[in-house]
Each structure stands twice: as structure tokens, then as C-alpha cells.
């Protein structure tokens, strides 16, 4: 049961990044404009997409889980501070707290690893 729970947890954590990255591709110009409006260079968008899509898939597969989890945790925390810092707006507060919760889950994953049913577990043996 533990292995299945760990796999499901990784899929839940990874899918938000995968879907977010794919949506950024389909709405590239709008996302780039939003980034620039928030003071971030739009030229970083391809790196953001690569991190979200690649990182989401890596987490779901359980590949390089500790490193990818740490990278995504840092990215998610920075995104919360930059893009969801208007805490007087209830929607932004919820988005900020969502990012904090995801960061916490990623930190747990970084500490405890991917668990069973993962590429990492196959490489250790």
C-alpha cells in the first residue's frame, strides 16, 4: 500500500506542474506578457516551461526525485512571492498558500525520496 500511496502522491504533485507548463505553451504570448507585467523577463518563459513540464514528468516517474523536488520547491516558493504577493486579495492569498502547500509537499518528497514504483528505486538496486 505504501508504494501505491507514494506513486499517487507523486502523480498528484507532478500533474500540476505538467499541466501548468503545457498551458503556458498554448497561451505563450499571454503568459509572457503577464510575466513582464510582474517585472520578470519574458525570455525566461521557455526555461519555466521546461522546468514545469520536465520537472512534473520527472516527479511522476520518480526520476532524480530529490533534486527535482528541491528545484521545483524553490521555483514554487519564488513564484509565490513574485506572482501572488498581494495578500489583501483573497484569491491571491489562496494562490500564495497553495504554492506554500505544494512547496511543503515537495520538501517532504526531497527528504524521503520517491519510494517504490519509481525510476529511482530501480536505479538504487
| Residue 75 belongs to a domain | yes
| Residue 74 belongs to a domain | yes
| Residue 122 belongs to a domain | no
Q: Does pTM top 0.75 for this prediction? A: yes
CA angle 53, 79, 109 (to 5 degrees): 60
Contact 103, 80 (CB under 8 A): yes
Decide if pLDDT at 125 tops 80. Answer: no
Which tens digit of pLDDT belongs to each residue from 70-81? 999 999 999 999
Residue 12 is part of which domain span? 2-113
Reference 82, options 96, 100, 68, 97; nearest CA is: 96
Decide if pLDDT at 124 tops 90. Answer: no
Q: Is 119 helix (H, G, I), strand (E, B) or coil?
A: helix
Contact 79, 47 (CB under 8 A): no
| Residue 65 belongs to a domain | yes
Averaged pLDDT for residues 50-78: 98
pLDDT at 89: 97
Amino acid at each position: 500500500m505504501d508504494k501505491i500511496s507514494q506513486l499517487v502522491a507523486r502523480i498528484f504533485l507532478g500533474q500540476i506542474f505538467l499541466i501548468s507548463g503545457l498551458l503556458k505553451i498554448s497561451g505563450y504570448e499571454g503568459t509572457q506578457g503577464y510575466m513582464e507585467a510582474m517585472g520578470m523577463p519574458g525570455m525566461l518563459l521557455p526555461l519555466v516551461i521546461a522546468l514545469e513540464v520536465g520537472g512534473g514528468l520527472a516527479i511522476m516517474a520518480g526520476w532524480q526525485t530529490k533534486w527535482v523536488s528541491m528545484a521545483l520547491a524553490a521555483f514554487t516558493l519564488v513564484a509565490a512571492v513574485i506572482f501572488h504577493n498581494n495578500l489583501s486579495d483573497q484569491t491571491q492569498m489562496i494562490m500564495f498558500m497553495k504554492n506554500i502547500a505544494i512547496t511543503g509537499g515537495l520538501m517532504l518528497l526531497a527528504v524521503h525520496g520517491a519510494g517504490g514504483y519509481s525510476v529511482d528505486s530501480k536505479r538504487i538496486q
